[in-house]
Amino acid sequence: MQRVAREVTGKKVPSGGYVCRRGEDVTRWIGVVDGLVKMSNLPPEGKLTTLTGVTTGEWFGEGSLLKDAPRRDDIMALRDRRIACMPRVTFNRLFSTNIGFNRFLCKYSKKSGVCGSRGGVTATDLGRLQSFGA
């Protein structure tokens, strides 16, 4: 757990700022430390679609990390927000070596389509990661 905590970084995102953009390379798994961010998509037809809100304690982006695919959606902070960023290497290490982490992803993943339907991965804080024995 201490190693994971050292590797996860924090970032502040101002209101209206983008946490990440559609089409970007996915380099991290992202958790909302506090607040609410909006997940939306602007297709070529030009009609903005808000897909969901991701709130305090939820994580997102695991599907794109697992598929090694570009980000599918724009994620925007609705107010000043703090996010946590778990690097791809940390995510992949946990995914490859830790059955508890895999169970966590499958149990709580609603978004990625890897283990469920659209939504976010719920974890109230990094303390929940302790059960992985990381």
Q: Domain range holding 105?
A: 2-124
Per the listing, tokens 């700022």 go with 17
Contact present, 94 and 4 (Cβ < 8 Å): yes
Looking at the structure of the chain, the number of domains it has is 1
Whole-number pLDDT of residue 109: 65
Identify whether 88 is part of a domain: yes
The model carries a pTM of 0.75
Identify whether 129 is part of a domain: no
CA 12 to chain centre: 15
Identify whether 131 is part of a domain: no
Whole-number pLDDT of residue 21: 92
Residues of the chain with pLDDT under 50: 111-134
**CATH number for position 86:** 2.60.120.10
Q: CA-CA distance, 55 to 120, in Å (whole number)?
A: 9
